[in-house]
């Protein structure tokens, strides 16, 4: 007798993103109880299961949802506000003043809805955030039906979220207590960076994360300025400093890592730190190009992040994959560097593993959450097709995503969001723009 399941979803190609990076032509996935029940050739799945709903997706590929391992989702409301400026000036003269004027529960919640809408429609089903007012971000993410690792930002100076480091740590503990154990939201402790958090603050953040067994998320070695600043303050590079205080571990996602030395790459590998490679933001801010090929060769788990939309300026992991694969080939002078299969693994399974969610998501395997996307292939820029991995790495873009499922629930179908009103989300973005324009001058960039 056939086993009853909620869905059988079939496509021309199914990429489980398992260890073998296999391709199932004419494949299907059975979904039951929010989890993957089985993956295999369509004939085998149909013979074994009876579905309440069949979804046949001809001229399509079915794969796990993409994972964005570093972003600041509310900064989507600052998209395009201050461009073509170095990172230090961008932060100090434009972004931090704007945040000081506008951050709050309403701003962060509304902006998070827009960011989640953008990411879901671009095939991202899970993201790792670092920001403030985490409860509002978590509630918005849960409402939209997306999976999020929501980080409570830690700083050593005042902001609208706290007056001192103690306030930020208290905010983080409240977020953890309110959200730990949720089916979609993972709370996280997110000290901003070694240049904005002293070693004592970084240690307190680590101890808090260890106390509650939650991830840590920090910027690390993003710019040459940062490296020089930390050397002048402490006599160590940023990675050496964090290693010396016991901060680095497999529970840490380090964003950027643009300027590590050979020895520091060895430290990252030894400590099993996950690195979020944000190449488009790094290029746009002229922060440099991270030595990803060297990190991968040394065993560092490198993944993809978009950074915030204020410095990218979109939240597309497909775009990050394509840019990274091509730029690193040119940097290395080697067309085999960051091949298409590697970048797909970085964007799916490896990203989930870096976030501590490798047993939950990142691949289509029985018992894992049914987080998956259907990408249409019957488009002028996607024919003819010889290698599906090549297409996904070099030709597919965010607009090719047709259907998105998270935890067995369809949240995007036929390119439309099912869990909230898209028009209302976009209208709120316009309203916030008008408030920002009318209420302050922080977004009027004087060059």
When pLDDT is cut at 50, 70 and 90, the band that residue 91 belongs to is confident
Residue 148's nearest CA partner among 127, 120, 132, 130 is: 127
Extract the tokens encoding 139.
């509630």
- Cβ atoms 156, 201 nearer than 8 A: yes
Mean pLDDT, range 417-422, rounded to an integer: 98
Evaluate if residue 220 carries a pLDDT over 50: yes
- Cβ atoms 306, 107 nearer than 8 A: no
Q: Which fold has domain 70-354?
A: TIM Barrel (3.20.20)
- The strand pairing partners of 9, in sequence order, are 29, 55
Calpha distance 310→445 (Å, rounded): 13
When pLDDT is cut at 50, 70 and 90, the band that residue 376 belongs to is very high
Residue 90: the pLDDT is 84
Evaluate if residue 102 carries a pLDDT over 70: yes
- Cβ atoms 78, 424 nearer than 8 A: no
Domain boundaries, the chain: 3-64+369-414, 70-354
- Cβ atoms 222, 216 nearer than 8 A: no
Calpha distance 292→274 (Å, rounded): 12
The CATH homologous superfamily of the domain defined by 3-64+369-414:
Urease, subunit C, domain 1 (2.30.40.10)
When pLDDT is cut at 50, 70 and 90, the band that residue 88 belongs to is confident
Evaluate if residue 397 carries a pLDDT over 70: yes
Residue 446: the pLDDT is 37
- The strand pairing partners of 46, in sequence order, are none
Residue 440: the pLDDT is 59
Calpha distance 333→340 (Å, rounded): 17
Evaluate if residue 445 carries a pLDDT over 70: no
Mean pLDDT, range 387-402, rounded to an integer: 98
Q: Give pLDDT tens digits for 258-288.
A: 999 999 999 999 999 999 999 999 999 999 9
The chain-wide mean pLDDT, for the chain, equals 96
- Do 3-64+369-414 and 70-354 come out as alike in CATH topology? no
Q: Give pLDDT tens digits for 152-196.
A: 999 999 999 999 999 999 999 999 999 999 999 999 999 999 999
Q: Give pLDDT tens digits for 286-316.
A: 999 999 999 999 999 999 999 999 999 999 9
Whole-model pTM over 0.85:
yes
Calpha distance 285→282 (Å, rounded): 5
When pLDDT is cut at 50, 70 and 90, the band that residue 85 belongs to is confident
Mean pLDDT, range 381-386, rounded to an integer: 97
């Amino acid at each position: 007798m056939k086993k009853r399941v909620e869905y059988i979803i079939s496509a021309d190609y199914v990429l489980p993103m398992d260890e073998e990076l296999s391709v199932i032509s004419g494949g299907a996935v059975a979904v039951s109880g929010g989890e993957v029940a089985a993956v295999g050739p369509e004939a085998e799945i149909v013979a074994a299961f009876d579905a309440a709903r069949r979804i046949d997706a001809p001229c399509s590929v079915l794969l796990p949802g993409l994972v964005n391992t570093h972003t600041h989702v509310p900064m989507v409301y600052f998209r395009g506000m201050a461009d073509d400026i170095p990172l230090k000036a961008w932060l100090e003269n434009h972004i931090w003043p704007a945040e000081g004027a506008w951050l709050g529960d309403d701003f962060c919640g509304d902006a998070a809805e827009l960011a989640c809408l953008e990411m879901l429609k671009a095939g991202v089903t899970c993201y790792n955030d670092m920001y403030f007012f985490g409860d509002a971000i978590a509630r918005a993410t849960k409402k939209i039906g997306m999976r999020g690792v929501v980080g409570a930002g830690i700083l050593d100076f005042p902001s609208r979220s706290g007056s001192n480091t103690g306030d930020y740590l208290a905010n983080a503990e409240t977020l953890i207590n309110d959200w730990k154990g949720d089916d979609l939201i993972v709370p996280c402790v997110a000290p901003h960076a070694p240049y904005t958090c002293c070693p004592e603050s970084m240690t307190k953040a680590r101890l808090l994360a260890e106390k509650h067994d939650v991830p840590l998320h920090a910027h690390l070695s993003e710019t040459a300025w940062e490296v020089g600043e930390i050397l002048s303050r402490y006599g160590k590079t940023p990675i050496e400093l964090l290693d010396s205080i016991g901060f680095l571990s497999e529970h840490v996602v380090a964003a950027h890592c643009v300027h590590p030395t050979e020895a520091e790459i060895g430290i990252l590998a030894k400590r099993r730190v996950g690195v979020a490679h944000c190449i488009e933001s790094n290029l746009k801010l002229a922060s440099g190009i991270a030595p990803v090929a060297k990190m991968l060769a040394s065993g560092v788990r490198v993944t993809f992040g978009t950074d915030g939309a204020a410095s990218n300026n979109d939240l597309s992991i497909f775009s990050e994959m394509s840019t990274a694969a091509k730029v690193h080939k040119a940097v290395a002078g080697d067309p085999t560097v960051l091949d298409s299969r590697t970048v797909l693994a970085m964007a799916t399974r490896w990203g989930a593993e870096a976030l501590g969610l490798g047993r939950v998501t990142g691949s289509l395997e029985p018992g894992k959450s049914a987080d998956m996307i259907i990408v249409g292939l019957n488009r002028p820029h996607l024919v003819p097709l010889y290698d599906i991995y090549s297409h996904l790495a070099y030709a597919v873009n965010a607009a090719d995503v047709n259907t998105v499922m998270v935890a067995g629930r369809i949240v995007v179908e036929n390119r439309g969001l099912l869990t909230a009103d898209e028009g209302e989300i976009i209208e709120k973005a316009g309203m916030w723009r008008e408030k920002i324009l009318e209420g302050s001058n922080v977004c009027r960039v004087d060059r």
